[in-house]
Chains A and B, each alone.
Chain A
Amino acid sequence: DTAVSQTPKYLVTQMGNDKSIKCEQNLGHDTMYWYKQDSKKFLKIMFSYNNKELIINETVPNRFSPKSPDKAHLNLHINSLELGDSAVYFCASSLHTGAQETQYFGPGTRLLVL
């Protein structure tokens, strides 16, 4: 059983479109995250949710809107896609919000905007 899963794995779309990425974890964790990895492999956090509440919101364009319908799911919706949004997006989860806790990452969604 996959611990943190993301769909789709690959996403190719045109500029201006709206797309969503879904994330689910079956670890019973109460905290989930979205990260963006750029073409130089640099990883940066975008959002974090704890028990469906937003607790981290980095400087991300408001075209990006996360939604957490329950503790096991954290989806990412992106409006009006731009070329610069092309990246790999990783979902992760941790048991709680503690700083020492391990974050478990999904396999990533490779987004290419043409």
Chain B
Amino acid sequence: AQSVTQLGSHVSVSEGALVLLRCNYSSSVPPYLFWYVQYPNQGLQLLLKYTSAATLVKGINGFEAEFKKSETSFHLTKPSAHMSDAAEYFCAVRTNTGFQKLVFGTGTRLLVSP
């Protein structure tokens, strides 16, 4: 069964600094990978997804992620953090084997300080 591991339950950065949120996946078949963002008291919103086309995926709000099969990673980055990026970020994986569910990581809270 597929799974994802998010390293670091909390990540703190200063405004303007690089954001790096880590996600490693485990899957015996080619995965589809997603990053979702959850702002306080709201639902989840898709940031970006990898669907086996380009390995570098660009998403909304200046975020991007690179699929690295050799490292089984799909880390999320943003060159310059903004205060409005403070939120909970979830990595998720799904595969095409039968009808598989979307499996979420435990989430990483991004804190942005002025």
Chain A residues within CB distance 8 Å of chain B: 4, 40-45, 48, 55-56, 58, 90, 92, 97-100, 102-108
Contact in complex: A102, B106 (CB < 8 Å): no
Contact in complex: A99, B100 (CB < 8 Å): yes
Known: A56-B99, A98-B96, A100-B51. 11 other contacts (CB 8 A): A42-B106, A43-B44, A43-B90, A55-B99, A90-B44, A99-B32, A100-B94, A102-B46, A103-B46, A105-B45, A108-B42
Given A55-B99, A97-B99, A99-B94, A43:B42 Cβ within 8 A = no
What A residues does B99 contact at CB under 8 A? 48, 55-56, 97
Contact in complex: A99, B96 (CB < 8 Å): yes
What B residues does A97 contact at CB under 8 A? 99
Given A99-B94, A100-B49, A42:B43 Cβ within 8 A = no
A108-B43 Cα distance, complex, nearest whole Å: 6
A105-B88 Cα distance, complex, nearest whole Å: 15
Contact in complex: B104, A42 (CB < 8 Å): yes
Q: Which of A4, A58, A98 contacts B101 (CB 8 A)?
A: A58
Nearest CB of B to A99, in Å: 4
Nearest CB of A to B45, in Å: 7
**CB within 8 Å of A: which of B67-105?**
88, 90, 94-96, 99-102, 104
What A residues does B32 contact at CB under 8 A? 99-100
